[in-house]
Structure 1
Amino acid sequence: MTITQLNYVLAVAEFQNFTIAAEKCFVTQPTLSMQIQKLEEELEVKIFDRNKKPIQLTEVGKRIVEQAKSIVNEADRIKDIVEQQKGFIGGDFKIGIIPTIMPTLLPMFLKNFIKKYPKINLIVEEHTTDEIINRLKKGQLDAAIAATPLKESDLKEIVLYYEPFVGYFPADYRKDLVQLSANDLNINDILLLQDGHCFTNGILNICKASKLDAFRRFELTSGSFETLIGLANEGLGVTFLPYLHTLNLNEKDQKNLIEFENPKPSREVSLIFPKNELKIHIIDALRTTISGVVKGAITFQDIEIISPKITA
């Protein structure tokens, strides 16, 4: 049994296809198939049911794959130990970022990071929180940036910053409001991001509402803050933005912003990674870089953390 064979097994388990798995492992399909067959012969079991389309794990195969993940991770830790001892910070690093954080945070730290750590090949992917959790557990991401706390027992969270929610209230809805409180919010006036965004969950938690009124004039959800701002400017409702997003608004739109009264409802943004702490030296480099650029932009003290998951 070899680490290479286990990596081939994990690839087939992930892609459910020998040809695609071989491509991802940079070997020919006959080579990959032969090595997996040799492992099955050694263990005297079938790991995959090749008669099903797509290919499925057998019951014992499922248990073997879980153990193989642990073995491969521990083997990778040896590489990490050697690289840290040599002071080398480099190689591929996959990081997932949720859509409501990606557009504002990534431009703030990416240039500094790649300049300081040129040997790291940073692969950035945009995913929802649920996708991030799933990919971290499967080993398809090395780390992620998302709203927390997630309370996932297999994952660690290091807080990067706290970001307040800010109201976007055009004149027709602003009235005499100077600061917002939860009592000022009418869920039926609020334009929301589409389902799957934890930012939407946060807004619903502030409003203590999980569903919309049946008599609402219309219901619209969007995947972008820009669309919500445009609709709000047309008098179709109000919306909410993360604080960092408000820094990029033009002067006219800035006048529609209203902050919450203290303690300001805020989201906790964290660096998330598996508890095995693979590539921890790169994770530390990311944390240091991001914390350095963000601390000058966000200086709020009196805040209340809003859960990224719907609460009762």
Structure 2
Amino acid sequence: MESIIYGILIFLAIYLALCLLAFGIQSFFFFHPEKLPESFQFISKDDTPMEEVFIDIGDGSRINALHYTRPEAKGVVFYFKGNTRSIKGWSKFSKDFLSKGYDFFMIDYPGFGKSKGKRTESRIYNIAQFSYKWLAERYPEDRIIIYGRSMGSGFAARIASWNRPRMLIMDSAFFSFYHLAQRYLPLLPMKWLIRYKIPTYQFLRSTLCPVFFIHGTSDWVIPYGHSVRLQREIPERRHLFPIPEGKHNNLPDLPEYHEVLDNILNDGELYTRFDPKN
């Protein structure tokens, strides 16, 4: 009997240690930033006009951003990137939107690239909202498109719920960060351990713009089923575009992705069909 009790105590001690470890290191597990020196110079490889922007938030945070422009732009895409690297690497996706007639704007989260400040869920929302307001001073809201990629989809949904952009595009989105974390750590009580809840599905319920989902059907990192569940939250003003055989990191390499993206951005009939004002 004593050996059974001793075994149970050892198991509970190990389990508690794993919980404490998961709680303590989750920021290192979920975020993989690339830091850049202040002297780093961004270069627009195809000579597209590009401005490096610094936005002082007022809480000690200073956000670094890139703003690409093109002649006679139809609007601007505010692109929320994923959880790795910096805008130095992610800026390569600007061409996917510039080529379709839109300006492009992207920020680095605190602790990424040249951005400074403490990184928490609520602070990222506030920084993103502050950045949106900076953009809205330069473009009418009905010409601002919010695009969220992977982890950035949750931040994008939050900002779309607070504002009135033309549309929200969700690329490889997750239902909530808790649901995603539970997939990777199913034996731990992530509901109580995780610091970043990011309930994307709740944010979507408060949006008033058309929402378009793009998701690879062979995505293992964030399974396709997450977007299926999300689009059920707003059945009247959304559309899900599956990319057959698309994985998590190869969508921009597939012609099907670019066909879908061009339709979302430039097909007026598609937009009108899902615009709640109509």
Q: Settle same-fold status: TM greater than 0.5.
A: no
TM-score normalised by length of structure 1: 0.28
| Highest RCO, 1 vs 2 (Cα 8 Å, sep ≥ 6) | 1
Q: Which has the larger radius of gyration?
A: 1
TM-score, scaled relative to structure 2: 0.30
